[in-house]
Amino acid sequence: MSINHDQLIDMVDKIPTFQESVHRILALTTSPDCSAKDLVQVIEHDPILTIKVLKLVNSAYFGLSQEVTSVNHSVVYVGINTIKNVAISVATTGALPKTNKAGLNMNHFWSHSLAVGVIAKLLAENKGVKKNEQANYFVGGLLHDIGKVLFAHFIPTDYQHVLQKAEADGIPLHQAEKELLGFDHSEIGAMVAEKWQLPSELISSIRNHHLTEEKDQSSLSLAIYAANQAAHYLALMTQALLDENDTEKTLLKAAIIDNDLPQSVKDWLGWPLAEVSKWLSNLDEEIDKALAFIDLSDGE
């Protein structure tokens, strides 16, 4: 059932190109005095993005007393800075297929992706990364696994086998992908990111998030790697608490994740995951809030 590179490219081709608009929003918003007019124009030229921005601004989170009906209206009402930040969040999560027949649980997928996004941003904050670059860490975390969604959407039967194998053999998903398909999700994910013309650092952070060999890695790549493992680590710790029979086995698995971090990631992180996880105590709360943005990908 292994697939070839052409098939991979074929799948990537079928993904909508979001994404001139996202690309332009990211580019526009890195400049501190981005023109409000330009930003509004980019959003308005993408009907889906427009709907989502409006949906979010009109959601309970903002608690506005009147309904906002156009992008211009939203700028007058809540200000250009707010709309800028809303657009970035909305744009980056919206372009993926919503359903799949492979049985990939999309709720798990998004909550893991969000966890990695939030953790990566917190790590960046902790490492003194500049505020305007922290958004990239969040986005990188959010998108690192998008390859999984493509596989699940385009080759559902094969991917079902992959999911089953990973489960049955107790191995990581990317390993099962490699064995059965010949490629893992980090490669196709990076290809989509390329197609979306995301910043090159983001592309490599997606490509490298399962790579164990040492090489020159940007701090973004190291952060996404660390955040991904931290999210898995935390999930195992929670599981250990809930599942009394297997506590020891689960704790051991977590310890192995911590221990097996590539040296470059360990060096960058400066702490074992066991320590890092202590200051991620209100992660669940953060993720709940971030979920408000993901809800937007339903419907419409």
Partner 1 sequence: MMIINLRGVRGSIPVPGKDTVKYGGNTTCIEITTDEGDTIIIDGGSGIRQLGNELMQQLPVNCSIFITHTHWDHIQGLPFFIPLFVPGNNIDIYGSFDPVYMKDLKTILAQQMEYCYFPVRESELNANIRYNNLKEGEAIRIGSATVTPILINHPVLNFGYKIESNGKRFFFTGDYEPPLNIYQPEDEEYSEYQRLINQQKQILTDFIQGVDVVVADCQYTREEYPSKKGWGHGTHDGCIEIARDANVGALYFTHHDPMRTDQQLDEIYRDVMARGDLPPTRFYTAMEGLKIEL
Q: How many residues bind partner 1 (CB under 8 A)?
A: 30
Q: Which of 11, 42, 49, 56 binds partner 1 (CB under 8 A)?
A: 56
User: Least distance (Å) from partner 1 to the CB of residue 165?
Assistant: 37
Those residues with Cβ within 8 angstroms of residue 76's Cβ, 6 or more apart along the chain or in another chain: none
Binding map of partner 1 across residues 70-89, x = CB under 8 A, - = no contact? x-xx-xxxxxxxx--xx---
Spatial separation of the C-alpha atoms in residues 258 and 256, rounded to whole Å: 5
The only residue of 48, 51, 64, 211 in contact with partner 1, by rule CB under 8 A: 64
Dihedral angle sign, alpha carbons of residues 287, 288, 292, 297: positive
Residues 18-47 close enough to bind partner 1 by CB under 8 A: 35-37, 40
Minimum CB distance to partner 1 smaller for 131 or for 215:
131
Minimum distance from residue 63 beta carbon to partner 1 (Å): 3
Nearest to 232 by CA among 215, 212, 216, 209: 209
Q: Using CB under 8 A, which of the segments 57-65, 144-152, 185-193, 220-228 binds partner 1?
A: 57-65
C-beta of 238: minimal distance to partner 1 in Å? 22
Asked if 67 is part of the footprint of partner 1 (rule: CB under 8 A), the reply reads no
Q: Are 1 and 181 within 8 A, CB to CB?
A: yes
How far apart are CB 177 and partner 1 at their closest, in Å? 32
Residues making contact with partner 1 (CB under 8 A):
35-37, 40, 56, 59, 61-66, 70, 72-73, 75-82, 85-86, 282, 286, 289-290, 292
